[in-house]
Amino acid sequence: MMSELIIKIQERRAKVVVVGQGYVGLPLAMAAVEAGFPVVGLEKSHERVAMLEAGRSYIGDIDNETLRRALRSGYLPTGAIDPCENFDVAVISVPTPLLNGIPDLSFVEDAAATLATVMRTGALVILESTTFPGTTEELVLPLLLEGSGLSRDSILLAYSPERIDPGNRSHGLQSTPKIISGIDEASLLAVEAFFTSLQVATVSVDSCKEAEMAKLLENTFRHVNIALVNELARFAHQLGINIWSVIEAAGSKPFGFMRFSPGPGVGGHCLPVDPSYLAWNVSEKLGETFRFIELANDINDHMPEYVASRLEKMLRRSGKSLRNSEILIL
């Protein structure tokens, strides 16, 4: 027998709340509106809420017309919790930065505690933010139970890591499979129903910890391989070898090789942070050092200095020079 929530999802009667209207949360909110759901976009930034209300998007993947169409369809951006009352599905899409090298889950904690105050029996909460294994069940679940006063078997909780690549026109929310997991079978079925309703393919795993680890593996894989090619680039230069020709030649192999290019370290929202979540978790729970991540961090952290040094030498050879402040900017 299908649950009441799944029926409401299928009939597009489920009230959806997306906490965090950034590069992950806003596209999700727009997809939910387009699928026919009533959607509340909960955002702490008053400036962002004002821009959303005015139909002005600050996210490159969402144009103004898409946002204005959503507003006409009932999308409600807000900084207040009252419009979220008695939600059916809530998705937490908030930042998980590092604070002095330690995972900062304060945004997740705040979102979970806030949702708990307006949570009803049978509602589904989905955590999308990247985090270390155990966060969903050991942090979010207790906050929801404590703040709502509900029992363990009366709420649904899932983890489904975001896979948004800002600016990528080939792979967006609806063209990228979504890993899903739940604290129980009912939660898994509910999160599957929700993302299926958004025309998103799903890949289910057996536990929230597996889904949390899978997201970290994705970004750690990239981080480590970027570090590999960055260090190889430095050695190739010293050996008088053109690294770009090497990468091009290796990339001609149709199997067993994935191309990565050297650069000034790693950037973006995820790679400078996510692998360190995994390294911290391993250190805290196992007392072990994740050597690949530590080594990759060391290599990539020193690449900006290396690139600036190479650039300065090139400019000096050309008869130009850089002030220290300009080198730091580079």
H-assigned helices in the chain:
4-10, 25-34, 46-53, 64-72, 106-116, 135, 141-148, 185-197, 208-238, 243-250, 274-286, 291-301, 303-317, 324-329
Q: Which of 270, 271, 293, 303 is catalytic?
A: 270
d(CA 29, CA 44): 15
Rounded-to-integer distance, Cα 44 and Cα 25, Å: 13
Long-range contacts at 284-287 (CB < 8 A, ≥ 24 apart) = 285/134
Which amino acid is residue 121, in one-letter code?
Answer: T
For this structure, is 208 an active site residue?
no
Enter the tokens of residue 220.
């750690």
Which residues have CB under 8 Å from 236's CB, separation 6+? 242, 243, 246
Between CA 180 and CA 36, with CA 66 as vertex, the angle to 5 degrees is 55
- Catalytically annotated residues: 270
